[in-house]
């Protein structure tokens, strides 16, 4: 198998082209991700996340820059040891990110992450 590496693709007339889409890889790549500090409501890093909204202690709404095609996407969440993270209220434009202790009492933590896979 050969590998082709280029910095910029140009059309025959010299104009720039759009980035090529590789459909087989699109479904295996994250559609969005966020690393959030719940204590300060700050996004530490993200992809395809336009904003986060502090709804209550341990609960944030994460909004997408580009909406999902439908609400049948998958979300994986993680946080520091001793806490439980989860999600709910999935729409094409956003989802609710939740974090709590072992009794599921809502808690804001410094780092909670979510990765989204979907169309």
- Domain assignment present for residue 52? The answer is yes
Higher-pLDDT residue of 55 and 119 is: 55
> What mean pLDDT do residues 93-107 have?
93
Angle among Cα 96, 104, 42 to the nearest 5 degrees reads 45
Backbone angles phi, psi at 77, to 5 degrees: -120, 155
What CA–CA distance (Å, rounded) separates 42 from 78? 17
Domain with 34 in it: 29-117
pLDDT at 26 over 70: no
> What mean pLDDT do residues 104-111 have?
92
Look at strands 42-47 and 74-79 and give their pairing: unpaired
- Domain assignment present for residue 5? The answer is no
Window from 2-11, 17-26, 55-64, 108-117 with minimum mean pLDDT: 17-26
- Domain assignment present for residue 14? The answer is no
pLDDT tens, residue by residue, 34-78: 999 999 999 999 999 999 999 999 999 999 999 999 999 999 999
- Domain assignment present for residue 4? The answer is no
CATH number of the domain encompassing residue 69: 2.60.40
What CA–CA distance (Å, rounded) separates 37 from 47? 15
Task: Count up the domains in the chain and report the number.
Answer: 1
């Amino acid at each position: 198998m050969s590998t082709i590496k280029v910095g910029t693709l140009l059309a025959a007339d010299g104009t720039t082209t759009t980035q090529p889409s590789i459909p087989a890889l699109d479904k295996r790549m994250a559609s969005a991700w966020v690393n959030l500090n719940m204590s300060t409501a700050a996004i530490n890093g993200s992809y395809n996340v336009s904003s986060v909204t502090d709804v209550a202690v341990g609960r944030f709404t994460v909004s997408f820059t580009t909406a999902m095609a439908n609400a049948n996407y998958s979300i994986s969440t993680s946080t520091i040891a001793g806490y439980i993270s989860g999600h709910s209220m999935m729409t094409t434009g956003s989802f609710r990110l939740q974090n709590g202790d072992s009794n599921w009492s809502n808690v804001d933590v410094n780092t909670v992450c979510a990765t989204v896979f979907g169309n």
